[in-house]
Each structure stands twice: as structure tokens, then as C-alpha cells.
Structure 1
Amino acid sequence: MRTGFAAVPLPVTEPTPMGGYAGRVGVSAGTRDPLQLSALTWSDGHHRLALVLADLICVNADVVAAARAAVTGVDALWLAASHTHSGPETGCVPGGTATPPPWSRSIPAAVAGVVDRAVRAEADSVGRWRTGILTDVGSVRSEAATDARVPLDLVEVLDTAGDRAGLLVVLPVHPTVLSADNLLVSADLVGAVRAALAERLGPDIWVAVATGTAGDISTRHTRRGHGGAELKRLAAAVADHCLAELARPAVPAWGAADRWDGRARRTLLTPKPSSAADRQAMIAAATEAVAAARHGGDPATVRIAEGDLTGARLASTIDGPEHEIEAEVAVARIGALAVAALPGEPFLALGETIRRSRPGPTAVLGYANGYPGYLPTRDAYRRARYEVLAAAAAPGSGERLAGIAADLLTDLDGAHQ
């Protein structure tokens, strides 16, 4: 197996509307840290997979299709957003929409360029996989008292001499340390983790960070502030955890002579039923909940209630899709390692369902190859929390996509026996 990596800046022309926070006022006023496109390729000499990670709030299906048309020399291209809330607005509307210019043009061109660089950098490699539990960085944001523990996957790429060449980290946490008041472009937590790992691993080892199934996971209850110092603290916690995991025994992911294979399936999701009366009732109920929470005085409860009100208001201002929502699920098996890519914002439990569907090493990405919006679990729809209020897809949509991923991986595993 040959593996390549490349990274290029993703320039932002100032000022630009910023994505992620409905309550943000104003446009970008500068750059705190540059956005990046990272490309990782795997080639077995016959077929090639390219994974591109973009410091964007989301990627819509139209920009994914345009990027695939622009890229040459690959059999499959996955484009995944980091979901930074301090990047440009790229049309992050529940259910998906058209990507606005200039991003509809510049993103596909930049993807083609970074993939070409990664292909030219390919070298023989072997892979190793590790997984562990990251503590005190991310937790369920809609619950005030939850265990701040999330799985974290590491895919280590080694050269044929056994030396580390690079590291892919799959982090299922919303990169939302910087607040809605921030008007400086930033990759937020993903960028800070890249920098912290680069500092620890050295300049000769590349680092890529993908956002996992983080639809319901954020730093809301673990962060101590919203500035650069807090970004560094949380990034250091992630980086130090990664180094501790790298010191432990690894599971073989792929060998020099292994091959990769992939599957993808598109499906249509039913829109969530909604009416004007329902939306007004949701706003009224959420407003009462905010008042009750403020009366109670618990800051975490107040923040959750305010988020739910934001979701209710968002749902009232955006017409839900009147047609079925197209969604793509993609999977790959690289040697023994399985990787699944889900669109939109899947809840963590959906990723864990996929991981439990097979015994071997498995990593699950979110925010990939389209944006159907939030994908809560079926049980989550029983409570009018922000993610459910803002979701465009009907209950059961998340489980449907997770089931497709599990089925596709079962097919792949059977083909490799």
C-alpha cells in the first residue's frame, strides 16, 4: 500500500460571512489561524482512495460533486468538513442547499490541487490503528451532567523502515471553543490539535485531524473560556492523550502488500414533519424553559435551554425541505482497517453502532460528502433539544444511515475473506 499526504492553506478573502452560529453579528474581520485542506491518499497500485479534510462548517452535495469532477487519478474521493464555526459560510442549511460563490468554485479547485500533491507524495507504507477514551474534552452538550468521555481513533502511517510518517486523528467533538462573538477566521479546536501534535511529533511527521460523529458532542461543559488560552489547553489534552496512546501496542491496519476496496450508497431520507403552528408552539415552550432555567440559576441548564430556543427559532425561519433528502454513505476497507463516512452531523451513538458491527479496527467520520443536517438517534427525538429542533430529517434517519454503513462494511469484509 502506498500512502500520500499533502496540506495547503484555504485562503479566505476578507470580509466574508461566517458560518456556524445563528446569532453571530457581523462578517469576518481577519484571520486568527489559517484554514487548511488536508489530503490523504491510499493506493494499492490498481485503485486509489483520496480523503480530503477541509476546515469548513460543512460541505454540500453540489461542492462534493464538483470536487469529484475536478479530481483526476482517483477511484473514490471523500470530502469531509471539520465543522469549524469560525470559517466561511458555505451554505450550511439543514437538508442541504447550494454552496454560495466563491466557495462553489474555489473549493473544488483547491481539492483537486491538494489531491494531486498527495498523489505525487505517495510512498510505500504500513498502517497501525489504536483507539482509546478521551476524557474531559467533549461531552453530550444537551445534558448538564454527563460523563465527559468520548472515543478517539488514531491511524498511524509508518514507512517501510518502521518510522512514523504521519498520523490521522478521528476526534468526535464539535470544534466550538471560540464563541459567536469571534470574528476572526480559525480552524478552532481541529487546527489547535494539529498544531499541538505537530509541536510534539516534530516537523517531519504530518498530522491530519478529522471530525467524527460529533452531532451531539461538544466542549460546552468542559471548556473554561472561549479564547486562545482555552484552545491551547484543550488541544494539549487531546495531543497528550494521543501521545499516550501511541506508546501503547497497536493493531495492524494495513501492510505494504495489502489492497483497499470501497463501497458507496445513496439513499433518500424522509423530511421531518413540521407546520407553522408546531414551530410557534416550539418557540413558546422553549421560551418558557429559558425563563425557568434562569430562575433556577444553574448556568449549564440555562445554556442548554438557550440553545434549545435558538434551535426552535432556527426551525421557524428555515422552511424544511418539501422533498426527500439525498444522503450518501461511503465505506472503505484499507487492509484490515475499515473507515466509514457519514454525511451531516450524526450523533455519537450512530458511529458506535457502526464500530460494533464488525470485530476489526474501525473508524467513523462525520460531516462527509453532503449535509442533510443533524442526524439524532431515534430516542433523541423524544425531547425538544436543539439538535432535534434544527434537524431536517425524520426520526430513524440516523439509524438508517448507520445500518447502510454496517451492511456495506459486511459486504467488504466478505469480499476480503
Structure 2
Amino acid sequence: MAIRILALLLLSLAASAQFRAAAVKVDITPTTPQWLLGYGARQSTGVHDPLFHRIVALDDGSTQFFLVSTDIALFSPAFYDEFCAELKQQTGIDRLNIWWTVTHTHSAPELGPAGLARAFLAGRYDHEPDWDYARSVKQKLIAGIQEARTKLAPARLSVGVTTSNANINRRARDENGRIALGLNPDGPVDHQVGLIRIDRPDGSPIALLANYAMHGTVLSGKNQLISGDAPGIVANYVEQKLGAPMLFLNSATGDIAPLYSVYDDFKKVRISEFNVLLGDRILKASRDLPAASTPVKLKAGERVLETPLKPGLQWPEELAAYLTPQSQVRLPVRFLRINADTALWAAPLELFCEIAMDVRAKSPVKNTFYVGYANGWLGYLPTVQAFPEGGYETTVTPFTPQAGAALAAAALQGLDK
């Protein structure tokens, strides 16, 4: 009798530790004209394609983790903190177990207060934010997370990589060595696509995560139609073929543009070409991923890097928690380990691709993926070489030239845990 009870107890423990997952897709397309974020201030005149929260819930039996990709350009870390406080109150989920990332489309509405962007582009934010839309987006995200929690079911997980040439370096250089936003086919670029596929035990898909570096700037500032730009359009394309949500997790895009960039409107750009350049690559690689891992073990963590603030920058009051009295920027770096062979690390940055590629090359973890625009936005972080070269990105950074090396060191320390 005692042996039977022990066997039943062991079976119960094994079942409770079984990896479970769920995915939810929530429409956040506004129904009223909105100020679009990215480029100069402009209001939307209609909708080209809808915007979504895409939410994945993971549960290894002891840790629940939620990963969100939203068709928005960016938001302030203070807005993320406010969201996390509400989420904690309503669900008990701790902030370390929720990553809220964005695709960085430049054809989506502003979301909440301007944050650090006001320090660089003060005249861009003379209007009030649409607080009703911001509240709606937060409420829909919390509801989506709660729904995903209720749908958790047995799952398995596969990891792999492929490549796509849908992106290009954007730091164009003229004959005098001056750097400007453009296209630079000779510049560094990260073509890797990191993939995590989550399936049910029968092999049917629950969700696909695709990690790729590409600005959401196929459309220019003249476009006034709401759109997920190439990241959102590719995600929709893959979902139609896959039959499950695809989270586009933008990577280190600080110096990376889409191969076709800043077209005035949808009539002048064949944006569906990205479905072939990137979407078909993702679909093929997803089908070819190695055998699924089971069981799955999750471990979430954070390191806060303190690095000097660029002299002369007026720090926004709403971000007081992200600056020390000694004028050190408090830069939160997040980590998610998935078993021994996979790690995601994330920061609220537009990071230059060379830094992320260097971390990946030195990482002790086989599959190391960087997720940018995570949990807010604290500006660009260029390489040390980029600062004397100049260019747009070096003017909209709160950091000093030494920050890139400091971030890489902090990331490698966190990945080594």
C-alpha cells in the first residue's frame, strides 16, 4: 500500500512539473485617429493592417514566464513599471517574469508618455498622449495574459537558427566620411534568425518565436496608415501558414534597416516581398528544427548595469528611478534561460548589432538571442567606434562611448549563471 501511494505521489509530482505553454493574440488596432510614433509628429488617417499583442505563456512546473510582442514602436520604462504594478495587483505575476517587447513599427500609435525621447526631440511631443488608448492597450494586455494562463497545456519546445538577407546596415557614409541614415551594404549586419517553436505533444503548433534585427521602417514618415510595417506583415503571413501566433522579437537594430526602406506609401513599396525574404525562411527553418526538448526548465533573472549619463543631457523626471544621484544610468538587463542550451537576454535599447553579435560569439550558451526594445526604451547604444564617426544614433543616446563594452560584459556575466 505504501509503495502504491509513493508511486502515485511520484506520478503526481511528474505531472505537475510537466512543461506547459499557451499563446494568445489580442487586437489593439485603434478605432480613432492617433499620433503615430517614429519620424515627425503625424496623425493616422486610416488602417492598412491591424495591430496586435502576441502573448506566450510558459510554465515549467515551478516558474511561469510571459513573453509579449506588441505592434508598437516603443514606450517609456515608466509606462512598463506602471503596467507591472497593475499586473502584479491583479494577477500576482512578478515583473521579472514578464517581458513586454515591441516590433518597433513606425506606423503605430504612441503609447503613453514620451519618456526619454522628449530629451532629444522635445518639439516632437507638443500634444498630449491619448491616455484612453494607452489604458486600453494595458488592459487588453493584462486580460490577454490572464487568458493565456487559463489555456496552459502540455507542450514541448524546439530551438534553432536560420538566416535572412531582409536587413541591411543603415549607416551610410559619403566621400567625406560623414555618416547619415541610409543604406550601407558594406556595413556590419546580423542576418541570423533565432527560432523557438512551441508545440503540443501531438506536434501541432502553439506558437513560434522569431528573433531578427530589422527596423520597422519600410514605410516613411509620409505614410499615415496604421500598420505593423514589415515585422507585423511577416508575422501575419507566417501565422496564416503555420496556424498559430508568431511573436516577432526584434533584436539589435540600432544600425540595421529593412532592405527596402522609407517608402512614402504602400503603393510605392512591395512590402509583401518581406514575406518571401523573411517569412518563408522562418517557415522552412521552423519545419526543420531539431527534436523537441522535454522536460523544459526556465530561469529568469536581471542585472542592473550602472553606466555614466552623457554630459549635458536633461534627464526626464518620470524616469528618476533609472538615474542614480551620481548621474549613472540604471540600465536593466534581463535574462531567460531555457534548459542548458538556450538563453535570451534583453534590454530597453536600440543596440548596435555588433555588440549583440559579439556577446553571442562569446556566450557560454549554445543558442543566445538578444531581444531589444524590451520593457521600455532608453535610447540607442552605439559601439565605441561609432561615437567619433557621428550620425543620428550618436545624437539620440544617453550613454557615453564606454557603455557598449560595459553592457557586453554585464550580459556575459549574466549568461554565465
Give the TM interval when normalised to the shorter protein. 0.7 to 0.9
2:271 equivalent among 220, 226, 231:
231
Letter in 2 for 1:140: N
RMSD of Structure 2 on Structure 1 (CA): 2.7
Describe how 1:178-217 pairs up with structure 2 within 5 A.
Answer: 178-201=219-242, 203=243, 205-217=244-256
Tell me if structure 1 keeps the 8 A contact 2:24–2:54: yes
Tell me if structure 1 keeps the 8 A contact 2:103–2:232: no
Describe how 1:41-52 pairs up with structure 2 within 5 A.
Answer: 41-52=57-68
Instruction: Give yes or no for the alignment of 1:61 onto 2:77.
Output: yes
Instruction: Give yes or no for the alignment of 1:273 onto 2:305.
Output: no
Partners of 2:190 and 2:299 in 1: how far apart?
32
Shift of 1:5: 0.7
**Structure 1 residue runs of 4+, over 6 Å off?**
95-99, 222-225
Letter in 2 for 1:74: I
Partners of 2:282 and 2:393 in 1: how far apart?
29
Tell me if structure 2 keeps the 8 A contact 1:40–1:50: yes
Instruction: Give yes or no for the alignment of 1:9 onto 2:42.
Output: no
Letter in 1 for 2:215: H
Extract unaligned runs of 5+ from structure 1: 277-320, 412-417
Partners of 1:79 and 1:67 in 2: how far apart?
10
Tell me if structure 1 keeps the 8 A contact 2:222–2:265: no
Describe how 1:231-250 pairs up with structure 2 within 5 A.
Answer: 231-250=271-290
Describe how 1:150-165 pairs up with structure 2 within 5 A.
Answer: 150-165=191-206
Shift of 1:129: 1.1
Letter in 2 for 1:265: R
| Partner SS for 1:139 | strand
1:95-138 residue CA offsets vs partner (Å, 9 max, x unmatched): 68899423553333222111111111211111111112211x11
Q: In the comparison of the two structures, how many residue pairs are matched?
A: 360
Partners of 2:54 and 2:47 in 1: how far apart?
19
Match of 2:53 in 1: 37
Q: Structure 1 residues 266, 96: closer, same or farther in 2, change over 3 A?
A: farther
Shift of 1:153: 0.9
Partners of 2:64 and 2:71 in 1: how far apart?
23
| Partner SS for 1:231 | coil
Extract unaligned runs of 5+ from structure 2: 1-18, 120-124, 173-183, 315-322
Shift of 1:163: 3.3
1:167-213 residue CA offsets vs partner (Å, 9 max, x unmatched): 11112100111110011111111111112212322x3x222211111
Letter in 1 for 2:140: A
Partners of 1:94 and 1:397 in 2: how far apart?
17
Match of 1:382 in 2: 388
1:7-32 residue CA offsets vs partner (Å, 9 max, x unmatched): 1011324222111103x5x3111111
Q: Structure 1 residues 223, 61: closer, same or farther in 2, change over 3 A?
A: closer
Instruction: Give yes or no for the alignment of 1:258 onto 2:296.
Output: yes
Match of 1:283 in 2: none
Shift of 1:236: 2.5
Letter in 2 for 1:377: T
Partners of 1:339 and 1:213 in 2: how far apart?
13
Shift of 1:146: 2.2
1:308-346 residue CA offsets vs partner (Å, 9 max, x unmatched): xxxxxxxxxxxxx99443321100112232111111211
Letter in 2 for 1:240: D
Describe how 1:77-92 pairs up with structure 2 within 5 A.
Answer: 77-90=98-111, 91-92=113-114
Partners of 2:313 and 2:296 in 1: how far apart?
53
